[in-house]
A and B are shown apart, each in its own frame.
Chain A
């Protein structure tokens, strides 16, 4: 492991994202108020950051884990893979918002800065190896996302979404901080690498004591990832927020929470010890089962498509938690793969929702009928994404579910696997309700009047759907990368 204060060059993706914020503000002050020009700037920054994240993922030094700032941060394949995920979802959110009617043109620059602020927080979170850094980057991510949720000032529903988000978010981050402070006291250090050594050497007399701080931290994370019983805020916030923000929350913040959860469970405690904590696996399995059941059952009857996808996002958090509950390497790899599949799929589905909202200002499933006739390409892509969300072959969602279920069955949690299978069947109902409205009903007369879908949205929808199919057919390379990431995470 290379340890030095001066490995700052490995943080190039973070610097680029932070630099892009400054460039945006400066160019705005210098008179570039055109939304498209500013969008070009931030897309340029994000793509460059994405490029460097991919490059560093493959760098041999990074595979050997590079420590930065005396152990405050660590760049390893695990963190880089998550940064790629964050950057792709931010890129999608920037492109959504560039053409969105929900975000007022005059305040688009600030919106974009907040979006990039959340991203940089998430990127630092994925690399954090110190409790102080964990809390700092966690708050960096949260504070900007509260503002994003309440961004549409004219819409009281958006204000309410932001208000509910900050209300529950502040409480859960307080609980999490208390958990972190107890962890600090019990293990005697803020450094997560040192913590791993201390727990592995079993100098620590009683691991059961760690159960309390871990539970408290789990409350904070469970809130971000939207697990049962901390999920109740999610439907309201997802429905009220501007749609580009909803898409971003349903992927980005969930992934960030999972990154920290995996690092704590697998990287900070050694695996044997995590498994030795009584009931940890069973409790997580119970929460996973409850999360997906609650999400899927509530989604069945939703009239609002955004709210339906919010409940579906809760259900998917349940599937991911299933992989975490197994508490072994196979499960963690499955979660990472699932997350990638989910990212492309969910962002693809949300693109259609954003595009249709721009045209019709409607989020009701019953009003968006006959879209299959009006927008063939977008509807086909939506169908593929919904198949993938359900977990039907040949899509990435199927492969992700396959790996998760394989890990669960291997571990012997048959009941959990059964609950998961039943839930998959339930989810088919409400996804197909959207399909039914799109394909088997005639378009309403007033819908015919709206113009064609902007070309940019078609390109975006297609380019998010193609990976869903590609990773559904040749997935082995991506799975390999997930394995590399997890093995770099496991405490040695």
Chain B
């Protein structure tokens, strides 16, 4: 059986990471951004597992990977929880439309209008 080296893993991971960043930067929908973040976290995870095999540190790297999965899940929970609250208040989950808080100069009555 042919052994796959480190490089393909790194290529996949970097591609995933770039896709994640692209997704975060272009999506206006909050769920889209969450998916982008998940892509980034999983890219890091592919890296970690590949490196753990490569440097001969199977235990540390794999525990780290499992931990990352766990933390990604809890982050998603909090993200979605806050998103629910946002939807109840603002009736939208588009990032641009949630903007009560912004700079205002003295004398401007923007905060009263909001």
A interface residue numbers (CB < 8 A to B): 131-132, 135-136, 139, 143, 146-147, 150, 153, 156-157, 159-164, 166-167, 170-171, 173-175, 177-178, 180-182, 184-185, 188-190, 235-236, 239-240, 298, 301-304, 307, 365-366
Contacts and interface: CB of A to CB of B under 8 A. Distances in A.
Contacts of B98: 160, 163-164
B17 A146 contact: no
Which secondary structure dominates where chain B touches chain A? helix
A217 to B, nearest CB: 12
B86 interface: yes
Contacts, number: 143
A132 B64 contact: yes
Contacts of B52: 184
A161 B82 CA distance: 10
B79 to A, nearest CB: 5
A167 B60 contact: no
B4 interface: no
B34 A181 contact: no
A184 B61 CA distance: 9
A163 B24 contact: no
A166 B82 contact: yes
A236 B82 contact: no
B37 A302 contact: no
Nearest to B43: A178
Nearest to A155: B89
The 5 closest A-B pairs by CB, nearest first: A174-B40, A185-B51, A181-B47, A188-B55, A236-B101
B90 interface: yes
Nearest to B24: A171
Nearest to A188: B55
A162 B41 contact: no
A161 B90 CA distance: 13
Interface in B27-80: 30, 33-34, 36-37, 40-41, 43-45, 47-48, 50-52, 54-55, 57, 60-61, 63-64, 67-68, 71, 74-75, 78-79
